Amino acid sequence: MDIFTKVVEPSRLSIPTNSVADPIFQTSVYSFDDIEEVDQLLGGQRQGYSYTRGGNPNYDSLAQFISGVEGTEKTVITSSGTASLLAGILALRPKPCTIYLAREIYGGTVGICRRILEPMGYVTKWVDTHDERVFAQLITKQSSLLIVESISNPLGRISPLDKIIAIAHARGALVLVDNTFATPFHASPIEWGADLVVHSATKFIGGHSDLILGIVTGSTERLSAVQELVDVAGFTPDPFAAWLALRGARTLAIRMERASTNALELAKALESMPCIDRVYYPGLPSHPDHEVAKNLLRRGFGAIVSLSLRGGYDTVQSMIRRLKLVRFVPSLGDVSTTLSHPVVASHRELTPEEKNAVGIDPSVVRISVGIESVRDIIEDFAQALS
């Protein structure tokens, strides 16, 4: 063969199947021996992979892992948490309907509704999901969809979702739960009756701030609609991101155990520090949803602690500038402790009135607690606030 032919020839290595770590199937497509093979594969009479937009072994490895920890039948991996939300919404309600958004929802979810779905004819309404009686009166539209988080961003609000989901179903609504903050370590919303559960695996599941990835999980029936959407719309991730996510996720339990223990200790310590107006952590008896959290969450209360600082924006700015260990990062879920400012980042999409209605003002700071020694984290906040 000529060099010009040799350089374009793909590898023909046979991949050993007993490697301990998954190989990365960084391929967009597969080659076949004859037409019949492809025809049977695309027709579904034969198992296998043909084109990575529709499936890849690295997605399957991660999907199997997630189904195992969430207690679900099937999981689909997408290119981001945002893609998972959109795929989940469109799979549950392909035709314009009323979408009820829980009051304390992530700004990006509001963005999907306002910028993509409302122009298509969907109608978005805010609902209170804390009081079952209030909720039962608000949710009136048949064939609607409720979107809610198991632990809300950023104030750690927790609704009695087992009861709320039953009420929603009784009124003909379907329910999509964003389980990003709780992770499968603290909650499996499918047990409360959720129709689909989504994650931003970018956060705690990946755990190392080195990938963007989403997850949709639930029953086989619901997930076949999601799978079709992801393939047809091209919401597919990169195989390497799926590989990285599974590598990170294998330490999910030990990270969450440590981070949630650290979070509780930090939250308690912060309560008596200078400049603190309020500490929001569902593990604290002072949190409005502490009792609900004890009922619904398992193994602790998660790794997100939020604060409201006296002196508002200016105090927040000086604290951020003085912190030495804790970095200012507009995300969460890293192994190290990071901090963000919801008004300018995660909740930017909300109007000032909407932010005020849920208590997210410039004095609020969100801490994503890591797995360091908690004494060092506490000391850093103590020196910055002193």
Ligand X SMILES: *Cc1c(COP(=O)(O)O)cnc(C)c1O
Choice from 55, 81, 88, 302 touching ligand X (CB under 6 A):
81
Query: Rule CB under 6 A: is residue 108 a binding residue for ligand X?
Result: yes
Comparison of 209 and 336: residue with beta carbon closer to ligand X? 209
Comparison of 206 and 362: residue with beta carbon closer to ligand X? 206
**Whole-number Å distance between alpha carbons of 373 and 249:** 21
Query: Rule CB under 6 A: is residue 245 a binding residue for ligand X?
Result: no
Footprint (CB under 6 A) of ligand X, residues 156-215: 178, 180-181, 200, 202-203, 212, 214
Is the preceding omega at residue 189 within 30 degrees of 0, hence cis?
A: no
Query: Rule CB under 6 A: is residue 82 a binding residue for ligand X?
Result: yes
Comparison of 114 and 171: residue with beta carbon closer to ligand X? 114
Applying CB under 6 A, what is the total number of residues that bind ligand X? 15
The nearest distance, CB 106 to ligand X, in angstroms, is 4
Footprint (CB under 6 A) of ligand X, residues 134-153: 149, 153
The CA-based diameter of the chain, rounded to the nearest angstrom, is: 77
* Cα atoms found within 13 Å of the Cα of residue 349, Cβ hemisphere only: 13
**Whole-number Å distance between alpha carbons of 294 and 289:** 9
Which tokens sit at 345? 């980042």
Query: Rule CB under 6 A: is residue 106 a binding residue for ligand X?
Result: yes
Comparison of 214 and 370: residue with beta carbon closer to ligand X? 214
Comparison of 151 and 371: residue with beta carbon closer to ligand X? 151
Query: Rule CB under 6 A: is residue 302 a binding residue for ligand X?
Result: no
The nearest distance, CB 19 to ligand X, in angstroms, is 29
Q: In this structure, which amino acid lies at residue 272?
A: S
What is the rounded (10 degree) CA torsion for 288, 347, 122, 224?
Answer: -80
Footprint (CB under 6 A) of ligand X, residues 212-241: 212, 214
Comparison of 81 and 300: residue with beta carbon closer to ligand X? 81
Question: Which residues contact ligand X (rule: CB under 6 A)?
Answer: 80-82, 106, 108, 149, 153, 178, 180-181, 200, 202-203, 212, 214
